[in-house]
Every structure is written in C-alpha cells, then in structure tokens.
Amino acid sequence: MAFNVNFSGDVGQFSPLNLAFVGDAVYSLLTRQRLVTDANRPANSLNKLSSQRVCAVSQSVDYYRVLPLLTEEEAAIAKRGRNANPSHKAKNASAAEYRNATGLEALFGYLYLSGENERIMELFDIIWSGDTNEKQENL
C-alpha cells in the first residue's frame, strides 16, 4: 500500500492523541485491505474480522509485539501516545489496554504523516504474521 502524504512540518510536534486519530484510520484501512485481499468474504464477515483486530485489546498485544523492534524515536512516539490522557474510557478493554492501543495508533499516525510507508508496512506485516501464527497455534 502506498500513501502519498505532502506534510512538510515537524510531525513530532502534533499531540499524541492527534497522531492516534490519524493512526487509527491508517491501521483500520490496512486491516481491511489485508482481510479483503486474503479471501473474498461477505461484507458482514469482513466487518466482524476487522472489529476483532481493530480494537484496544488486540492493539495492546500488537503494541508489545512491535515495541522491541522500534527505533528510539518511534518508541518515544509510541510511549507518548500510551501516556496521553484521552477524554473517554474504553468500553471493552482495560485502561492499560486502551492506553497501549493509543500508543500503537500514535505510532502509525506518526509514520503516516512522516511519509514512512515502508516502515508502516514492515511493522504491520510483523503484526499480521504474529496474529496469523497465534491463530494457527490455537487450532
């Protein structure tokens, strides 16, 4: 997937919650694209699978999956996102899971606005392959 971002400012100056706002959309789009290209399914099935992956509980696991692989700068952005204070609470996740998910989304938003398409895909592929491996182990 190629993104075309023409932002020339300092992305690191954005609020971590603003980065997470963008990152949520990026992460959701990547998930939907991967689900559609993996198999031709009915839309309601795709929506259910997408909702299972684009949720605080799942993204919290993904946060810890990629954290050791991040550069110092990326880890700082993810931690800023995790430590941000959102104005609302998670419905179906613990506060810690919600904060970790916000950190992951902030990272994806940062990478997107920085034009780091290859890095986005590298991290998303690691997340996706980890999810697939865990599902196969549970069969």
Q: Measured between alpha carbons, how far is 112 from 109 in angstroms, rounded to an integer?
A: 5
Say which of 24, 38, 62, 125 is annotated catalytic: 24
Q: Measured between alpha carbons, how far is 115 from 6 in angstroms, rounded to an integer?
A: 8
Active site residue 10: no
User: How many other C-beta atoms lie within 10 A of the C-beta of residue 10?
Assistant: 8
Return the active site residues.
Answer: 24
